[in-house]
Amino acid sequence: MSMKDWMEKDYYKVLGVPKDADSATIKKAYRKLARELHPDTNPDPKAAERFKEVSEANDVLSDAKKRAEYDEAREMVASGGFRMPGAAGPGPDFDFGDIFRRAGGNAGDFGETLSGLFNRRGAQQRARRGADVEADVNISFAEALRGLTTQMRLTSEDACPDCAGTGAKSGTVPRVCPDCEGTGMATRNAGGFAFAEPCPHCRGRGLVVDDPCLRCHGSGRAASTTTVSARIPAGVKDGQRVRLRGKGAPGERGGHNGDLNITVHVASDPTFARKDDNITVTVPVNFDDVALGGQVKVPLPLGGTKTLKLPPGTSNGRTFRIRGEGAPRKDGTKGDLLATVSVQVPSDLNAEAREAIEQYRKAMSNG
């Protein structure tokens, strides 16, 4: 596959994921498509081609370095960072590898050249989205069912407070780069083609700091601690990741904030357990309740009880379904409460109870 194909194909669209998808989402999407399209399970020739395309997309997007270069390459092409003399941009039959062959280089080295180019381009003076922040929260079983709002202290990078993000020492200001005149971009010719790339003097910032800030050492960024109000939805499961958009690290130069990704850890409960969207509970009952029939109180996950009517001859270990008393779902409905009866055998009988059981034994023997 040529570098032209690599940059023109929308791998996010191929996998059916958004451009800000995390690695877990990409992995899940790839596995689903791979199962559907693998030649061993799908004989359709079109499926084989699609499987190849999906594999190529996963190879790039599942690798953090390749994904970063891919995103930068597509962005540079879209903004005209690569251009041919007298043309607005690369045409449909343009192969970027030709640039290196005409310049006497090897087209196979193109990826390495892109890597070096884009790593420098990251400092370009433009809006940049803030980084995503990972965090963990521990909640109780009942809190997972109710949902809750919790306050979280997060540490991330923000504009340095000492220099207001300029990178220059207090009392001084950065000066406009004399080489690029503040654009942050420089033009380089290679093999008859013109490349727009980050200015090597200012490293793409458009400004030069002569006297750097003592706190951030000229980077313009410093660690910052903030308190974030995070809403954990009702019905969250143990190990589930909750994404709060815009609650991550602040963006640079007016860019959007990153996201806050919270992994939820739900504590076990001594009475209840969860099975998908259903809640399970064991209800202790007496022998006469199951033999003759009766009514027992079943505890509910969020407090209170519900009366359960046992028919005569109920077997030990039988499970009854109480609808709508389970875990909340996204669509507003709830799972069920699964109540399993457990006959309790008394360890200490009084004389009257013992006589009654003896009479029961005789009756069963005579029957």
What strands lie across the sheet with 133-139, from one edge to the other? 133-139, 260-266, 241-244
Rounded distance between C-alpha atoms, residue 197 and residue 81, angstroms: 7
| Ranges of the chain with pLDDT below 70 | 1-8, 76-126, 190-194, 253, 367
Determine the residue type at 191: G
Q: Indicate the DSSP class of residue 84.
A: -
- Burial call 258-282: b when 16+ CB within 10 Å, e when fewer: bbbbbebebeebeebebeeebbbbe
Q: Which residue matches tokens 């040529």?
A: 2
Rounded distance between C-alpha atoms, residue 197 and residue 294, angstroms: 82
From 340, 337, 333, 307, select the one nearest 323 (Cα to Cα). 337
DSSP codes, 168-232:
BPTT---EE-TTTTTSSEEEEEETTEEEEEE-TTTTTSSEE-SSB-TTTTTSSEEEEEEEEEEEE
Report the alpha-carbon angle 195-200-205, nearest 5. 100
Instruction: For residue range 120-159, list pLDDT tens digits in order.
Output: 344 444 677 888 889 999 999 999 999 999 999 988 888 8
Pairing of strands 278-285, 294-299: unpaired
pLDDT of residue 5: 57
> Which CATH number is associated with domain 272-366?
2.60.260.20
| 250 close to 156: Cβ distance less than 8 angstroms | yes
Instruction: For residue range 306-339, list pLDDT tens digits in order.
Output: 999 999 999 999 999 999 999 999 999 999 999 9
Q: Indicate the DSSP class of residue 351.
A: H
Determine the residue type at 177: C
* Polymer length of the chain: 367
For residue 193, what are the β-bridge partners? 190
| 323 close to 313: Cβ distance less than 8 angstroms | no
Determine the residue type at 59: D
Contacts of 315 (CB under 8 A, 6+ apart): 290
What residue ranges do the domains of the chain occupy? Answer: 272-366
Rounded distance between C-alpha atoms, residue 67 and residue 180, angstroms: 29
Rounded distance between C-alpha atoms, residue 307 and residue 295, angstroms: 7
192: left (phi over 0), alpha (psi -120 to 50) or beta: left
For residue 152, what are the β-bridge partners? 228
| 230 close to 244: Cβ distance less than 8 angstroms | yes
pLDDT of residue 76: 61
Pairing of strands 305-310, 294-299: antiparallel
